[in-house]
Chain A
Amino acid sequence: MFTSSRQSSSKASTSTTNFFYTTPPSYELSLEDFESFALSRLIVLRKIEELKVKGLDRNQYNDALKRVVNLQLPSSGPSPSAKKHNEKRDLASHFILRLAYCRTEELRRWLLTQELALFKFRLEDLEKRGGKDMSAFMKNAGISFDKITQDEKQSMQSQLRFNMSYRDFEASSFYRIPFAEAVDLIGRRLVHVRAGMAYVPGGKLVSIICARFRSHLSRSLAKAAASFSHVSSDTRIGPLLKNMNKQYTGRDFGKQHTVEGDMNASNVDEYAQRSMPLCMRQVHDGLKKDHKLKHDGRRQYGLFLKGAGLTMEESLLFFQNEFTKIMSADDFNKNYAYNIRHSYGKEGKRQSYTAFSSTTIIMGPRSNPSEVGSHHGCPFAHSGDASLAALLGKMGIGGKDRDDIMAHKKNKMYQLACAKHFEVTHPGAAKTEGVDLDGVGNHPNAWFNSSVQYWKNKEPAKKDMKGKINTPMAKVERAVVSPGSGTAKEVV
């Protein structure tokens, strides 16, 4: 992959307009930059994938993409040094991701699809700006098209102009391109073809250049795959490259969030009824039923609750309430309390752990809840079709909604199923003010946060959860609930 000639000037490799990526960078990169550049680009490419399934119209798509590109991979900058840094990031990140995504057919295809979409987005933008910038780009990318002369254009007018207005025809340049490079246009009969050459008007060049980019990148990726094992043995970057596609790119729910409506031991139930994603709901229900959880379930649920704002004290209280229905407080303290404190960073190496993202739950090392009595994992990914359908039904989700969710499950689009579940249980969420749907389906805590925001906005008259809890009746009920006795009553 790094065999392209070194003769092309440093101009080509640093020029912003060369997003054709003909030449890999030749400068050095700190490990930190290596990782952070790659992550920035990954955010953009994941966003592209996300936007594609949302079924937006062209303008919405372009606007949304523009926002994330300007944030993560800006091409310009306030100062020349900033600009240079941005160019460095764009170029390096592309080649780093090539490395990370070249090793299997599936990863290569993924990268190709998203990079092509990014390329098309940038190229269309460039084409709109037109003229010199476009020519400079083509030159840098080594694309030369044979423009036909005015005389030729006039003599072929009736064939060239068959699908153009007279005005457009006059204003257009036509390029003669070997037909095999314009297959898309040929197949759709959009251009005139003669003697093996397609006659392509300037406006349709984007399609052809995209095809070129695609085959160029596809070839490069295939070549890179051959050298991957050599590169991945480097201990500095090997692990990062190998795990790149599993990287979580959303918000970090490691720190405790104080969401409005603080969670505490007594209101976890209430939150579970309406604001928890299905995976956590499932664990919660399992906990309630069995009065305990296996290790994976404790981790998954415990960290989630932490990310949702449950303090360590409240978490200890909550789990103790439940566990001590089948064991003594002493046993609980001996066997389980330490781990809870540990996950909050108060024991051992004092590392505060981060709540699991959806990817981790679906794909993580011990994610398959095959043992009896397991309640962890992702219900969309790990439950059988029949049990999931029944579960949804029990929650009052039926008909088309349930079918849509099941369809996503069948297509292995588990995160879309989860997002759909949110949509169905929070009608009108997309239009509700103050509700940010970013991350729903990608992280249980995002689902949770968005849900809490939603209910808060929907029910401004009612007091928030904290306020409810402090009604006199609730206070009394709470006082009744103490470790080892009774169940926490559901406050409605």
Chain B
Amino acid sequence: MPALQESNAQKRKPEEVMEKPPLRSSTASIPISPYETSSSKAVTSSKSSSGPQQNAVVFSPELLRIYYDRLFPYEAMYDWLSYGVEKDFFNRREWSFTIQPTPEDEIYIRYQSFKDLEEFKSAVIKRQPNKIDIGAVFTHQPKDHNNLSKDVFHTEERELVFDIDLTDYDGVRTCCSGANICNKCWKYMNMAVKVMDEGLKTDFGFNNLVWFYSGRRGVHCWVCDESARTLSNDARSAVATYFELPLENEEKSLDLNTSLHPMLARSFGVLEPMFLDHLVGEEGMGLLSNQEQWVKLLKTLPEEARKAGIAAELDKEWTKRDVSPADKWKMLKSRIEKETKKEGAKKQRKFKGDESERLEMWPIETVFRHTYPRLDINVSKMQNHLLKSPFCVHPKTGRVCIPMDVSKIDSFDPFNVPTLPQIVSELESYAKENGESKNIPDWQKTSLKGSMQFFLKTFLNPMKNEQRKRRMEEKAKEEAFTGDF
């Protein structure tokens, strides 16, 4: 039974207000009205297979109730988060709910915990949370935390998580700002996912990771390997800062030098083509497609380039004749190379970071400034940070937080993500055509099918198999030791 008593549901308990973890990445006080008409962005999905268009409402308590009754994947979540441990593990996981009993009142309840799948499911159905967050696995059941001293009750393990949000790209995206997104700026997410995914797998050897669309303007990564879950705060902080570049301040130099870390060098190799494909041209951010833009970019060249008159030279050339944005970039790079690899230029370098090195690194810095993942580092640093649960429905957009197939990331379209009204209507259509079939799970009757199958096939089942194998190996070892065969 969750800690919050029924009679107190209307009041905002002081400790709950204070409990709001300042570490939550999304904006906390969303003034949600379930009766609000959707914004033009969060319109109907354009999937031809969907039923009658639902323009007016993307999110409502009635629709949510159907979702929680029939579509939210409780079993899969329980399976996943138990990590193969049957007893005394799932019950120590913290969950938090954001509920809205009346349109004006939003209540945030922390330290929820459930002893098993049944309790979990019935709590969600009872509470109808607008948002569900997942916290850490603690030493004791979180619902008992008030009876325990701080020394005794603390986090034990927690997935390594990352959160990338498009609002952090407001400094470089010119198409949208704030909560708005479009297909143009969504490309930044593709770039971030590619760099992070490869880094986490190749450099750190993590295998069990899964990316989720956050439902509005970002992506989350959940790294679930046991080695990741047991990382101390210091260690996960180190992993996050390993990837981090100081991009929040658009004016500040990244201080890259020619001793570029292999991970950054590799990332540049991945990002430069995407920079050229998606950002420099008119169909992208237009960084090199019109004079106003390219002059702006050339202005960011270091002093040494200005001394050599590179900007003026190129500006003249590009006004004279038509050069494609991609070619402009190539010209720019080779002109810089000519300058920095001049006879004796390297010898003249007095110290690292001096002008000529800054110039040599400028193309890399520029690409990074526009494409490199912008992490919300606070999300990753601490075990007790709460992150939105996968498969939630976003109250503002009605979109489901579905997993993303990294191998097909370039074709991921956030505007084509299954929405609440859409899948509910799909359920109804299916029932009309086939009757209330109990042979297949309800999600298979909707557009969620692809996402769930991907989740099970690519992430959950392989992880469960690994766990099973490991347990069998351990058991065999133990039996060999004690002589029981």
Contacts and interface: CB of A to CB of B under 8 A. Distances in A.
A225 to B, nearest CB: 11
A172 interface: no
B234 A162 contact: no
A180 interface: yes
Contacts of B262: 158-159, 162, 192
Contacts of A197: 205
Given A162-B259, A180-B231, A192-B262, A186 B242 contact: yes
For chain B, what secondary structure do more than half of its interface residues adopt (helix, strand, loop), or is it mixed?
A: helix
Contacts of B205: 194-197
Interface in A191-249: 192-197
B350 interface: no
29 contacts: A158-B262, A159-B262, A162-B259, A162-B262, A163-B259, A179-B235, A180-B227, A180-B231, A180-B232, A180-B235, A183-B234, A183-B237, A183-B238, A186-B239, A186-B242, A187-B238, A187-B239, A189-B261, A189-B264, A192-B261, A193-B203, A193-B242, A193-B263, A194-B202, A194-B205, A195-B205, A196-B203, A196-B204, A196-B205
Given A183-B237, A188-B241, A192-B261, 9 more contacts: A158-B262, A180-B227, A180-B231, A183-B238, A186-B242, A187-B237, A187-B239, A189-B263, A193-B263
Given A159-B262, A196-B205, A189 B242 contact: yes
A179 B204 contact: yes
B260 interface: yes
A116 to B, nearest CB: 14
A194 B203 contact: yes
Nearest to A156: B262
A188 B264 CA distance: 13
Contact of A183 (B202, B203, B235, B260): B235
B176 to A, nearest CB: 31
A260 to B, nearest CB: 53
Given A162-B259, A194-B203, A187 B231 contact: no
Interface of B: 202-206, 227, 231-232, 234-235, 237-239, 241-242, 259-265
A158 B262 CA distance: 8
Nearest to A158: B262
Contacts of A285: none
Nearest to B265: A162
Contact of A187 (B203, B232, B241): B241
B227 A196 contact: yes
B247 to A, nearest CB: 15
A345 to B, nearest CB: 48
A186 B259 contact: no
Given A183-B234, A186-B242, A195 B259 contact: no
Given A180-B231, A195-B202, A195-B205, A162 B260 contact: yes
B238 A184 contact: yes
Interface in A134-191: 158-159, 162-163, 179-180, 183-184, 186-189
B442 to A, nearest CB: 39
B261 A162 contact: yes
Nearest to B227: A196
A193 B205 CA distance: 9
A127 B264 CA distance: 31
A405 B227 CA distance: 49
A193 B260 contact: no
Nearest to A187: B238
A195 B259 CA distance: 22
Contacts of A184: 238
Contacts of B261: 162-163, 189, 192
A229 to B, nearest CB: 16
Nearest to A161: B259
Nearest to B260: A162
B440 to A, nearest CB: 40
A187 B233 CA distance: 12
Contacts of B232: 180
A184 B232 CA distance: 13
B378 to A, nearest CB: 15
A95 B241 CA distance: 36
B207 to A, nearest CB: 10
Contacts of B237: 183, 187
A192 B239 CA distance: 13
A194 B242 CA distance: 13
